[in-house]
Chains A and B, each alone.
Chain A
Amino acid sequence: MQIKPILTALRHHKAGTVLIVVQIALTLAIVCNALFIIHQRVAQLSQPSGLEEANLIRIQNQWVGKADDKAYGSLMATDLATLRRLPGVADAYATNSVPLSGGGWSMSLRLKADQSAPSAQTAIYFSDDHTLSTLGLKLVAGRNFRADDIRPMSAKDDLLHPAVIIVTRTLADKLFPTSTAVGKTVYLANHVSTIIGVVERMQTPWLGMSWGSAASTLVPFRLLTDGTNYVIRTQPGQLDRVRRSAPEALFAQNRMRVIPDQHGVETFRQIRADAYASDRGMAILMAVICVMLLAITAAGIVGLTSFWVGQRRKQIGVRRALGATRGDILSYFLTENLLIGMGGVLLGIALAIGLNLWMVTRFEMQHLSLWYVLAGAVALLLLGQGAVLAPALRASRVPPVEATRSV
């Protein structure tokens, strides 16, 4: 190999070499961290909600005019009966919130009444005996709510005391890591509740909560208030039809309501898209930055090597005259680029880790996996070799007779 003479020669082209080394290093540092952020965002995006999302619609209903709690109860019951009868509807229920919607209730849970620190934090979903079938939640232990478990709750009642609850497996495992949760009691506020069932998964309404994204509790209450969410599961292929017919049916039933133009009737797909819009945007932005940086670096390598090939045309001719084959010349430029690339990659690894540590302290980012750095390093070396190939091939075609030509 010709590593030593190449390094010696590079000392005479310090400015160009240093520029490319720094460019590669910065690209590696930024691309590694950007890819890591993209990966995290994509992991976030691809978290399952636990719901059978494909056929779900949410309608936000607001009653107009004052009514008492009892009236809200009967209005809601009539609406639900109307919706469940509607052609194309598989099931429906009323609730305060749905996963990923961004708004909802959360409470702390205790295992003992006199416990000062809570055992867990949980999202609270108002549910009934139709909730599991509407959302497609999978019951993994215990039983579903029965119709006689469901009780009305006024918005004025500030204390929640359900006799029975259903929790997600995430929450059950956290509360009772070694035994089954079904049949156990927990304290919501100061009231004891018995866990009667465990569902496999149900995401909370919020993203990025420190206590987890799937610690949820279903309580058997119908919330009597002027605003509610109706969640409808349609039969397969009926989503668009029900999306139009459901609000029409509700207005036909009772006109004294408002269903907002924006977000009033939404499929779960839209709710998911809205919830993750910033994550997706960030991932796309990072990807665009990565692609641009890589393209700029590749262009820099092509530019500098092309310049060097032009500058060293005579020298290449001399080398050919002295016995270098085309392969020798090609390998000279590839090796030269590999050495520069390795310099850049070594510096880049240090920068990537440094940048990540800075973001860990400043923005609570996670520690960068070393695999990203290694994969980034290999990718940049390959990119360098790819970028240098065309000018290196051009160099290898310089004829030996170039040695005899005057500059």
Chain B
Amino acid sequence: MLKMTHLSKVYRTEVVETYALRDFNIDVKEGEFVAVTGPSGSGKTTFLTIAGLLETFSGGEYHLDGIEVSNLNDNARSKIRNEKIGFIFQAFNLIPDLNVFDNIEVPLRYRGMKGAERKQRIMESLERVGLVSRAKHYPAELSGGQQQRVAIARALAGGPRLLLADEPTGNLDTQMARSVLELIEDIHRDGATIVMVTHDPELAARAQRNVHIIDGQVVDLAEEPRFHTHADAAAQTHP
């Protein structure tokens, strides 16, 4: 489903080149639930933004659902994001000016879906996250947990093959975090591939597989345990 080979991401300024990802390799199979862990600044979020086609990469290959994405133009990338990928962000990222219904409708409109089908999908996904009664509420009128469930409903409505979650429970209390995680597990059971970036070892333990990133590279903890002395080490910098 998601395969990166020798992938690199370099941020260049006039004086330095900073590798966010270096010789990065990962293969997530269809239907897998993978948790990506690692210290802050290790490249987790960069990996997720590249996986979600939010950013381009500097070298290597990335196949998403069998498509090599490095040569796709902006519109083609938008179309893949819209049709194949669902995003769940730590900060929920709902549009404050739109109510719950309209928020979930946003990606469906970009797909050019007809009104009746949009409505059906929105109501189904709202039902799934248990927020049908909140359809006309604005994000500011909802709790954090409810907002995240709306964000999940928005991701679900498009019927994505791949769900990318960036610290989905990072802004939630334990109880809300648990219900959001149960929802994600539920979606996984229905067949979606899930890649979740998290700090939380407890959350990571719920995934089928854990991938650990340190200094922009995938580290196999089972085979090659190593201590990282600076938990918050920044990505390696090359002048």
Contact = CB atoms under 8 A, between A and B. Distances in A.
Given A324-B110, A328-B110, A406-B91, A399 B102 contact: no
Given A2-B109, A8-B102, A400-B54, A322 B74 contact: no
Given A8-B99, A8-B102, A322-B154, A400 B81 contact: yes
By secondary structure, the A interface counts as helix
Given A8-B99, A9-B98, A328-B110, A322 B82 contact: yes
Given A315-B95, A399-B55, A326 B74 contact: yes
Interface residues of A, number: 27
Contacts of A400: 53-55, 78, 81
B216 interface: no
Interface string B34-77: 00000000000100110011110000000000000000001100
A9 B97 CA distance: 5
Contacts of A399: 54-55
A323 B81 contact: yes
Given A321-B81, A401-B55, A403-B93, A8 B109 contact: no
Nearest to B55: A401
A12 interface: yes
Contacts of A328: 78, 110
Contacts of B166: 404
Contacts of A403: 54, 87, 89, 93
Contacts of B110: 319, 322-325, 328
A58 interface: no
A368 to B, nearest CB: 38
Contacts of A12: 96-97
A201 interface: no
A222 interface: no
Given A323-B107, A404-B166, 18 more contacts: A4-B102, A5-B105, A12-B96, A321-B54, A322-B107, A322-B110, A322-B154, A323-B78, A323-B81, A323-B83, A324-B82, A324-B110, A325-B78, A399-B55, A400-B78, A401-B49, A403-B54, A403-B93
14 contacts: A318-B93, A319-B95, A319-B110, A322-B107, A323-B81, A323-B83, A323-B110, A323-B158, A325-B74, A325-B75, A325-B79, A400-B55, A404-B48, A404-B49
Interface of A: 2, 4-5, 8-9, 11-13, 314-315, 318-328, 399-401, 403-404, 406
